[in-house]
Structure 1
Amino acid sequence: MTTSTRRTLLAAGLALAAACSGLATLPAHAQAKLKVAGIYTVPVEQQWVSRIHKALNAAKARGEIEYVFSENVANADYERVMRQYAEAGHQLILGEVFGVEAAARKVARDYPKTAFLMGSSGKPQAPNFSVFDNYIQEPAYLTGMIAAGMSKTGHIGMVGGYPIPEVNRLMHAFMDGAREINPNVKFTVSFIGSWFDPPKAKEAAFAMIDKGADVLYAERFGVSDAAKERGKLAIGNVINTQDQYPETVVASALWNMEPTVDAAIAKVKAGQFTAEDYGPYSMMKHKGSELAPLGTFEGKVPAEVMAKVRAREKAILEGKFTVKVNDSEPKSSR
């Protein structure tokens, strides 16, 4: 074997090893504006997707990216839309692939020079498929504390979309926070089997109110409407809707997608995008999540409860308190 042949084989081996380890990077893109596409299975108004859409629009407004998107994409069409955007030359594609994991990962393998950043329950896939999630269990814990402090019946209702890890961990964190304030608090938990069905979520919330719940955890749209109609309180999730429900929504666990999106854009531009988990960018220390301002409920939450909430918030930010992550399906306690 000649020296030249050995060098060729060595280079090929090193390239393969880098790709398999997830350390291989995509080409840098020096142009002023990066071409970015979003693919969403629900309307962009939906809580979770709205945060991605907001962050990408902010980058667009700054002149960093060109941004196009498709919403209400059926799972059966998701792979086709991904391929269309990749073929059109979009360097970064974002979305949520919880129901189409296998198909989405196949597309990423077919377009190794395109960066994919997807909401996913799975792991990163080398070299170009990164994942993220709304790891907002920390502010969810804080809102649970507030909910228990505001409940007069000690009964909290919780309405979710599907019992997947991304939802379960937030519900459990909320429940743990509530138990810190009231160890005897009771929960009624229900999943509506949809990511966007406000009427169904509203009916589930009505049923909980009829059973005695006076505070509702609004993981889905529709829950706060039920609380408003019945004169009960609600806790928001992912977005802050207090301006729409000033007498109903006490507090919210707010998700800020900007740290995640901005990090991905910077890495693609620098040619440093690899397969990695962007989930930690959603945590409070990165300003990826926070307890939303109490607004109209400022001063209405018992002072002793808020003192405990602020102490917990400070401990979380200082790394002295860790919110437990529990991805199992939460169950009703009554």
Structure 2
Amino acid sequence: MTTRTDSPAGLGRRGALTLGAATLLGALPARGHAAAPLKVGAIFSTPIEEPWDHQIHVALVQAQKVHGIAYQWSEHVAAADFGRVMREYAEKGCALVVGDAFAAETIARRVARSYPKVAFAFGSGQGPVNPNFSVFDNWIHEPAYLSGMIAGKMTKSGVVGSVAAMDIPEVARLVNAFNLGARDARPDVKCKVTFIGSFFDPPKAKEAAVAQIEAGVDVIFAERFGVIEAAKERNILAISNMSDQSALAPDTVITGPVWDMWPTIDAVVKMVKAGVFTAQDLGSFSFMAKGGAKLAPFHAWEQKLPADVRKLVAQKQAEIIDGTFRVPVIETTPKSE
């Protein structure tokens, strides 16, 4: 486990070295001095490079600049250590603790109950718990559907693929949305699906991608890291996930669903500062209509993507945002064809 601190000025992802508790938290300001910044801790079960947790981290770094929070984070926290790290942040005086609790759902709620004056907001597959445990998730099935439409239009073999983490509802709904978009764009398309059984195993993801490519896939949804590398080496097209990953392979990556955690973090920080934070499901902040989900920029593909494909996607995106089209939430196991 690694714990790090970013200064309020907003250092890079690998910013300042870990500070001691006294340095991090400081003493309470003397009367008449400016109020101390809101102290926020984040607990990530994976390395910060993993896209899901990275998007939360990016939003918290932005909160440093916009809201002046004092931000410290711990990465690669094992489930067995999760409760201990939560308690450490609460005892250090963090008013808000954020992170992902998928591997520690029960213990996260139990610890939160012990600190009713601390606000907790965690990525979770379960519901919120009064008075102080809120939940969120990456509801990016809408841009995943749009990405699938692009894949359906761009495949020459008629076979698209997805390499994803594991068969859980949160992942299945993205793959299902991608496949649905591909089929709506090309009804005869075949969709292959592979789960690697891990949130972060780039070599295994690459291996699964190579197997799909050898089976005829020529456009692949890189739900996990490692897939884009295989796509680049085998000269096929890729759809990224969670963040804009065009820089990894500009000629390979067309676009992909992006999870923007800023609307969620912005709302939570404001609620905590105003003293009105309550346990709630924050999932709607991750929908396209609220700016929490979008397609990554096309970059060079702005010119290379056929005009009819860009028009089709733009029209469907407008329908999603104005509410005239709803992408189904399907969380059952996607079938591989």
TM-score by length of structure 1 reads: 0.89
Structure 1: which amino acid aligns with 2:140? I
CA shift at 1:235, angstroms?
A: 0.2
- d(CA) in 2 for partners of 1:95, 1:208: 33
1:1-334, aligned counterparts within 5 Å?
A: 31-333=35-337
- d(CA) in 2 for partners of 1:216, 1:114: 42
- d(CA) in 2 for partners of 1:329, 1:38: 31
CA contact (8 A) 2:228 2:248 kept: no
String of CA shifts for 1:124-169, please: whole Å, max 9, x gaps: 1000000000111111111100111111001011101111111111
SS of residue matched to 1:189:
strand
Number of residue equivalences: 304
Structure 2: which amino acid aligns with 1:157? G
- d(CA) in 1 for partners of 2:98, 2:195: 26
Structure 1: which amino acid aligns with 2:41? A
CA shift at 1:302, angstroms?
A: 2.3
Structure 1: which amino acid aligns with 2:141? Q
- d(CA) in 1 for partners of 2:35, 2:329: 41
SS of residue matched to 2:303:
coil
- Report sequence identity in percent: 52
- d(CA) in 2 for partners of 1:132, 1:176: 24
Q: Which runs of 4+ in 1 moved over 4 A?
A: none
Structure 1: which amino acid aligns with 2:124? S
- d(CA) in 2 for partners of 1:177, 1:279: 22
- d(CA) in 1 for partners of 2:195, 2:315: 32
Task: Give the number of the structure with larger relative contact order, counting CA–CA contacts within 8 Å between residues 6 or more apart.
Answer: 1
CA contact (8 A) 2:112 2:120 kept: yes
CA shift at 1:332, angstroms?
A: 0.2
Equivalent residue number for residue 5 of structure 1:
none
CA shift at 1:63, angstroms?
A: 4.8
SS of residue matched to 2:93:
coil
Structure 1: which amino acid aligns with 2:178? F
CA shift at 1:250, angstroms?
A: 0.6
Equivalent residue number for residue 12 of structure 1:
none
- Stretches of structure 1 lacking an aligned partner (at least 5 in a row): 1-29
